[in-house]
């Protein structure tokens, strides 16, 4: 399984809009891996997780080929993970040469409620499917398990566990605090080859609707005790906010000695 982290920031991006904090100023000055767009993950070039406002930028700068994407998993309806305007470009009448294949979107009730009116228009070429916690989805050889996140209580936010056709397992755990007990029970004994964890609050603890450096170390301990990870599991930190208090190199200094890769925009891993 090839996993590409197209974007690795929280909602504001880094540097953030209208912000002159030390992290944003330093990121802008240094450039490179310190520049973060809103979070999006691509699996094997054909399965996309989330559709942020920076999808177009990922297409231009990172080679995201949307014509190859037939299935999109949406974690929740917040605008940094689900940007309706660009999704509807699929059916834009001026795109005369656009791909005619429909795209299926899987998401919670909030996501479905937003998309369903447009899916009724055949010109949009959108398909909407429910993604409910602990109800497996089969997608062109992938086995996808939606899991409950601890994030916005106003909707049923999701995490996704993805198993590839060759049996590799990846867990995307961003935009969540400590995993809820029913999620932990669902993945008990399911050993993942790679686990990516939310690191929005950086140097600050949270555990509620996000995580920071100390939280992901605690979350790793819990996942190991839960037999959801093993010695071969690759650990990745992603979904960083400028409010977390550090740029890329500083995060590497703090997390790599603890056995975590620090994701950056465009980073690709193979498991």
pLDDT digits (tens, 9 = 90+) for 229-266: 999 999 999 999 999 999 999 999 999 999 999 999 99
Q: What is the DSSP letter of 70?
A: -
Domain that holds residue 81: 2-270
Question: If 0-12 CB within 10 Å is exposed, 13-18 middle and 19+ buried, where does residue 180 land?
Answer: middle
- How far is 181 from 137, CA to CA, in rounded Å? 21
What does the pLDDT average to over 190-196?
Answer: 98
Q: Are 59 and 52 in contact (CB under 8 A)?
A: no
Work out how many domains the chain is built from and give that number: 1
Q: What is the CATH number of the domain that holds 169?
A: 3.60.15.10
pLDDT of residue 110: 97
Instruction: Read off the pTM.
Output: 0.96
pLDDT digits (tens, 9 = 90+) for 72-111: 999 999 999 999 999 998 877 666 566 678 899 999 999 9
What does the pLDDT average to over 111-140?
Answer: 93
- How far is 121 from 167, CA to CA, in rounded Å? 37
Compute the mean pLDDT over every residue in the chain, rounded to the nearest whole number. Answer: 95
Percent of residues, the chain, with pLDDT higher than 70: 97
- How far is 161 from 173, CA to CA, in rounded Å? 9
More confident residue, 125 or 91: 125
């Amino acid at each position: 399984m090839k996993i590409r982290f197209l974007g690795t920031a929280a909602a504001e991006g880094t540097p953030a809009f209208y912000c002159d904090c030390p992290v944003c100023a330093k990121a802008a000055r240094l450039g490179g891996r310190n520049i973060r767009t809103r979070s999006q993950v691509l699996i094997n070039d054909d399965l996309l997780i989330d559709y942020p406002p920076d999808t177009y930028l990922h297409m231009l700068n990172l080679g995201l080929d949307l014509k190859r994407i037939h299935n999109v998993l949406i974690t929740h309806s917040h605008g940094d993970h689900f940007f309706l305007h660009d999704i509807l470009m699929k059916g834009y009448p001026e795109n005369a040469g656009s791909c005619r294949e429909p795209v299926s979107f899987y998401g919670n009730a909030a996501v479905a409620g937003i998309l369903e009116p447009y899916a009724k228009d055949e010109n949009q070429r959108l398909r909407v499917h429910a993604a409910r916690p602990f109800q497996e989805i089969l997608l062109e050889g992938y086995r996808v398990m939606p899991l409950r996140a601890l994030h916005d209580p106003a909707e049923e936010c999701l995490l996704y566990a993805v198993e590839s056709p060759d049996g590799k397992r990846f867990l995307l755990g961003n935009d969540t605090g400590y995993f809820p007990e029913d999620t932990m029970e669902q993945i008990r004994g399911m050993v993942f080859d790679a686990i990516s964890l939310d690191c929005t609050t950086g140097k600050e603890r949270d555990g509620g609707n996000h995580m920071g450096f100390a939280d992901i170390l605690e979350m790793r301990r819990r996942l190991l005790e839960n037999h959801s990870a093993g010695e071969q599991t690759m650990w990745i930190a992603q979904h960083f906010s400028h409010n977390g208090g550090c740029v890329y190199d500083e995060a590497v200094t703090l997390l790599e000695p603890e056995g975590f890769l620090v994701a950056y925009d465009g980073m690709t891993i193979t498991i």
